[in-house]
Amino acid sequence: MKKIIIILCVGLLVFSCKSKKGVVTKKSKNESTQVKKNQKDVVKQPTKVYANNTERYIDVHKATAQQEMSLYGIPASITIAQGILESGSGNGRLSVEANNHFGIKCHGWTGKKIYHDDDEKQECFRKYKDAKYSFRDHSLFLTERKRYSKLFTLKKEDYKGWAKGLKAAGYATDRKYPQKLIGLIERYKLYEFDKEVLGDSYVKFDNPLTTQERTTYTVVKGDTLYSISRTFDISVKELQNINGLRDTSLSIGQVLVVKPSSKIN
């Protein structure tokens, strides 16, 4: 009798162990199946493909440029185009190692620095923790310097006027700088980002310098015929002839008629 009881107990114990083992195995299989399913779902997610580095750069930084436009009034199209040129579409040493996308030099900067050959050897440039701080510094650079103040009298849709105005104010020494900016903006349709920010107030500028908005210019303090001629890419003599001026004297508030030269159109 005792032997029978012992045999029954052993049998129950073995059966119990097999049952537990079977349950555990089944759970593990379900979990494994779910993991595989999740991995499969991840693989199915579409991956963005860019035609070139410039398209990638635009996609990565467009939102930052639009935010800066909303805060500081600088067209997003201009900011992105400048970033592309100055940083080599994000591949230049300053942008890669210092997140400096606009080649802004130290000029009293107290943050981290990087030294790079530019106009002279080993010049000091600002180094940023994140690229977005470079975009913010670019906005401050333009808004806080008097020589760029005329840019902010232009319409935000007028990317051509902004491009030429930056050159006239001395932002770049490259004579073709405006054409390069305009070329990038039109090739990649960067003006669409301006349109998104401005919404219903957006007004298309097919050729801003020939519209009624730009046929006259009001003289402000510090203006000279030479500086105005550079802004509108015409000669001082042409300005004098258009406005019947005998000399180069100007007065604040004086309204001048400006006329673009044929090479701008």
Based on the domain organization, do 73 and 138 belong to the same domain? yes
Based on the domain organization, do 128 and 245 belong to the same domain? no
Based on the domain organization, do 127 and 241 belong to the same domain? no
241 within domain boundaries: yes
10 within domain boundaries: no
pTM of the model: 0.63
- The total of structural domains in the chain comes to 2
CA distances from 76 to 9, 60, 157, 158, 170 (A): 81, 13, 10, 11, 20
Based on the domain organization, do 120 and 225 belong to the same domain? no
48 within domain boundaries: no
Based on the domain organization, do 138 and 65 belong to the same domain? yes
For 91-141, the pLDDT digits (tens) are: 999 999 999 999 999 988 999 999 998 878 999 999 999 999 999 999 999
| Token pair 């402000």 in the structure block, residue | 220
Based on the domain organization, do 184 and 246 belong to the same domain? no
d(CA 232, CA 261): 8
Decide: residue 132, CB within 10 A, 0-12 exposed, 13-18 middle, 19+ buried.
Answer: middle
pLDDT (0 to 100) of residue 250: 87
Based on the domain organization, do 158 and 229 belong to the same domain? no
What is the band of 220 on the pLDDT scale with cuts at 50, 70, 90? confident
For residue 261, pLDDT over 50 is answered with no
Based on the domain organization, do 226 and 154 belong to the same domain? no
126 within domain boundaries: yes
Q: Give the domain range for residue 253.
A: 215-257
